[in-house]
Amino acid sequence: MAGHGSCFVIERFDRLSDGSAVHIEDFTQVFDVYAEQKYKTATLRNIAQVLAAETSDADIAEFIRRLVFCVLTGNGDMHMKNWSLIYPDRRNACSGYGSRGCRTLPPALAGRETQSPDDKASS
């Protein structure tokens, strides 16, 4: 790839080492609602209640860690289709989160001027 730019490679989280698929169920499936209702039907508290009933303390702690990350990065896209149960052994669930893009600037960064590396090099 020399001279062709950069690329980002990530290992699929929904495959086992033998290449077989890992079962994943998003929370619209868990709550049996249509995708159009992803913002209206369940709350993050409802998701936490399911995790408390179906997963381990470590999974709940991971959910909270990811939730805090989403809040701190201004991610307002934490709907039911972006939170999932992942069944790596096809039986026991653990929590997962799909979309981690920043949707709004956190208050600490709002109003700050930003410079790209190119801008810094020319100043």
Strand order in the sheet with 83-87: 23-26, 83-87, 94-97
Q: Using an 8 Å Cβ cutoff, are 84 and 14 in contact? A: no
The whole-angstrom separation of Cα 118 and Cα 98 is 31
Residue identified by tokens 């100043």 is: 123
Q: Using an 8 Å Cβ cutoff, are 56 and 64 in contact? A: no
For 15, residues 6+ apart whose C-beta sits below 8 A from its C-beta are: 21, 22
Neighbours of 116 (CB within 10 A): 8
Select which of 14, 26, 32, 77 is catalytic: 77
Instruction: Give yes or no: 77 in active site.
Output: yes
Active site residues: 77
